[in-house]
Structure formats: structure tokens, C-alpha cells
Amino acid sequence: MGRSFKFLLISQSSTNLGSSLYLMALIMVIFHATGSAFFSSIVTILNVIAKMLGGIISPILVERFKIKFLVIFSQLAQMIIFSLLALYVGLFAESINLLIVYLLVIANAIFEGFSRPSRNSILPRIVEQHHLVKANSLLSTTDQTLQLMGWSLGGILAVQIGAYNVLWFTIGLFALSALSIFLINLASSSSEPVGRQRKNRDAMKEGWMFLYKTPILRTITVMNIVEGLGSSIWIGAVTLVFVQDVLHKGEEWWGFINSAYYFGTIMGGILILKFSQKVQKNLFRNMILGASSVAILTFLYSFNTIPLLSILLVVLMGPAYQLRDISQQTIVQRSVQIETLPKVLAAVSTIDQFVFGVSVLGIGLLVDMIGVDKVYIISAIMLGLATLYGGLMLRYNPQFSLKEGQST
């Protein structure tokens, strides 16, 4: 898939590994300084909100600057923020001011929020359409592998060398990412609009209007919202409650289930990479197949009380999630013009962040009110409703059956 794709793979891998290590190190720093799980969890909440804000302003910046410039500038800015954070933690580890730390967290997440859609829009510029499924599966598999490494080995690394040094290591990863983006050849995108004089409001609306006016993207958006409202069942706190209250196991099984999920997604990515041509022949149907499989497996998981079977079900969810997500990502890439894609991805990211935030609050309340097992059942039902809606849209919109070489 070419030299530029290899540099994009290096950049995305470095960024994702760096982000997971950064969050883990920072949460450990705050917890050790305060002894409070609440103050540590605020980092995740601020991260979601700030990324959403970054996604909102992203279209304005895309309107005025080149994609490569935006991504490189963002990552250099994040390196500066990480440096300030590392220096501050090193100097005031025992008496950190949480307000300063939280402000740096917000600044970093805003830069990540507005650069991510631009970085994710690079792939269709450097890879031909008939290789998109293969490229997306390779990126996704690498991402899941590094996330598994980041969350499983990150804690060990932080204990061995200290959270302070992990932050400096993160700076090195982002430097590698910025260099890799610089080496990508985007000469073919020189015609992308830069310096337009349109109003900021019009630039911000463009991606949202495209989502609304394009039937296949509107369908995917509705499905994502319905699915997303129940998606936070897999966050650590809810999974831990399920392990203790339903499976009657200790915290180590929480780690087993998380590892099983990542193992399943890695295997799923490898399978889709191997059968990419078959997946590409009908993307929307494969997305529905993956979504329906996730719904069924989640429903079975919600009634299960056997620990080993829960591990198996989570492993099987990995390929189903990958089939759904990779097919969906490829549909979006093929349905939108390259120049508009960053704005559409910014709108998608903003919706996802908002829905996830609502889901975290709602699922947390429901777990306390009705019990964690019933919450998993509700989530499975929502996944099923989203799949049913997508299936009905496919039936009444034959053009959704994207064949290889076609676009909407």
C-alpha cells in the first residue's frame, strides 16, 4: 500500500500508544497525590468533553489550513503540553495543584479532538478505494494490539520507571508520530480548500449537513447514537461490578475480560485483513452482520454466570465489533469527497463523544437502580434495535449495498 501508508501506520501507532500511556500515568499521579478515585476519574470526563470541543472547532481549522499542517502542529503542541506536565509533576509530585493539571489535560484533549478527524482523513488520500478495507483492518489491528500493550504493560512500566518518566516517553512517541506525518506524501491533495473566507458557522455546519443529507451516513449516524447510548457497559467500573456481582469473581477477572476483548479484536482484525476482498464486496451488509452479532453476543453475556463462558463470549465479540467498525469506517470514507471528509469525521467524533458521555452517566445510574445484569440486557436490546433499523434501511434503499468500485 505504499510508503506513505507505512508512515501513517507508524504515526497512528505512536499516537495511540502514547495516549494510553499518558492517561494511565496521569491517573496514577493524581491518585498517588490525592488518594481519591473520584479526582482521578475526572481526567476521563474532562478528556471526553475537551475532545468534543476540539471536534466542534475542527471544521473551521480545516477550512483554513492544510491537513498535514494541522496534524503536525497539533502533535507538536501536545508535546509541549506533555513536557510542561512532566516538569510540573517532577517538581511538585507531592503537592500538585489539580487545577493546573486539569487545565493541561483539557488543552491536550482539545488539540487531539481537532486533529484526529484530519489524521483519520489521510487514509483515503494515500490508499486506493479497493484497498481501504485492508488498510483499515491493518490500522485497527495495530491499534488494538498497542492498546492492549499500553493498558496491560503501561501500569508495570509506570511502577518500574515511574509515571514521571512514562510522560517523557510519551513525548518521544508523539515526536515520532509528527515526523511520520511530515514524511507522508500528500501532493495529490494540494487542491484542498485553504484560506476560504466563509463564515465559521458555515464551515462548522458543512460536515453535519452532509451527515444529514446523505441517506447512508444518516442511517449510520442513527445506528451509532442508539448503540452508543448503551456502549459504556464496557467501561472499567461497570465491567468490574458485573464480574463481582454476577460472575462472583475477584478483580483479576476484570483484567481477564479486558484482555479477552483486545485479543478478540486483534484476531478479528487479522481475519478481516485476510478476507478483505470479501468484506469489501458488500460493506453495509457486513456492517449489519457485525452489529447483529454484537447484539446477540451481548444478550448471551448478560444472562451468563459462568466465568469461562464470559471470556469466550467477549473473545467472539472482538471479530464482530471489527467487522462492524471497519465496514462502517470504509463506507464513510467512500461516501464522502476527500475535501469534505475531515469535517464529516469531526461531526461523527463530536456525536460519538457526546453520546458516550451521556451513556456513562445514564448507565452508571441504571447500574445502581436496577442492577448490572439488567443493564447489559438493555444494552443488548438497544444494539438489536439499531441493527433492525439498519436492516430495514438496507431493504428499502438498495443503493446501500455498496459493491467494490462503487461509491454513493
Which residue carries 486483534 as its cell?
A: 266
pLDDT digits (tens, 9 = 90+) for 170-226: 888 889 988 988 888 876 544 455 445 566 666 677 778 888 888 888 999 999 999
CA separation for the pair 363, 376 (Å, rounded): 9
Residue 53: all three cell numbers together: 470541543
Inform me whether the pLDDT recorded for 316 exceeds 90: yes
- Which CATH number do you get for residue 335? 1.20.1250.20
**Are residues 249 and 176 both part of a single domain?**
no
User: Could you tell me if 328 and 387 are in contact, meaning their C-beta atoms sit under 8 angstroms apart?
Assistant: no
> Is 281 part of a structural domain of the chain?
yes
User: Residue 125 domain-assigned?
Assistant: yes
Within this chain, do residues 140 and 228 fall inside the same structural domain, yes or no?
A: no
Q: 290 pLDDT band (50/70/90 cuts)? A: very high
| 97: DSSP letter | -
Does the residue 17 lie in any domain? yes
Domain boundary among 124, 151, 184: 184
What range does the domain containing 380 cover? 205-408
What whole-number distance in Å separates Cα of residue 168 and Cα of residue 171? 5
pLDDT at 199: 65
Is 373 a domain residue?
yes
179 and 281 part of one domain: no
Q: What is the pLDDT of residue 385?
A: 93
**What local confidence, expressed as pLDDT, does residue 190 receive?**
43
Asked if residue 159 and residue 222 are part of one domain, the reply reads no
- 129 within some domain: yes
Query: Within a domain: residue 194?
Result: no
Helix, strand, or coil (residue 96): coil
Cβ-defined contacts of 273-277 (< 8 Å, 24+): 273/134, 273/137, 273/138, 273/141, 276/131, 276/133, 276/134, 276/137, 277/133, 277/404
Domain count across the chain: 2
Same domain, 144 and 107: yes
Q: Where does a domain end: 184, 215, 231? A: 184
Residue with cell 493541561: 104
Mean pLDDT of 12-17: 85
Rounded Cα distance between 139 and 317, Å, is 19
| Statement to judge: residues 12 and 145 lie in one domain | yes
Domain endpoint, select from 184, 217, 235: 184
Q: Which three cell numbers stand for residue 151?
A: 493498558
CA–CA gap between residue 403 and residue 361 (Å, rounded): 40
Helices (H), 246-337: 251-274, 276-280, 283-303, 307-335
Across 158-178, average pLDDT: 81
Q: Name the band, by pLDDT with cuts 50, 70 and 90, for residue 66.
A: confident
**Tens-digit pLDDT profile for residues 359-402:** 878 887 888 888 888 889 999 999 999 999 988 888 877 667 65
User: Are 5 and 83 within one domain?
Assistant: yes
pLDDT of residue 107: 92
Same domain, 179 and 322: no
- Examine residue 371 and state whether it is found in any structural domain, yes or no: yes
- The pLDDT, as a whole number, for residue 313 is 93
Question: In 3D, which of 163, 61, 41, 177 has the Cα closest to residue 113?
Answer: 61
Q: How is residue 28 written as a grid cell?
A: 496514577
The confidence score (pLDDT) of residue 404 equals 45
CB contact at 8 A, 351 and 221: yes
Please indicate, yes or no, whether the overall pTM of this predicted structure exceeds 0.75. yes
Q: Residues 246, 346: one domain? A: yes
Query: Which of 52-61, 193-202, 216-225, 277-286 is the most confident on average?
Result: 216-225
Residue 189, in any domain of the structure: no
The single-letter code of the amino acid at 99 is L
Are 157 and 218 contained in the same domain?
no
Whether residue 75 is found in the same domain as residue 27? yes
Do 141 and 266 belong together in one domain?
Answer: no
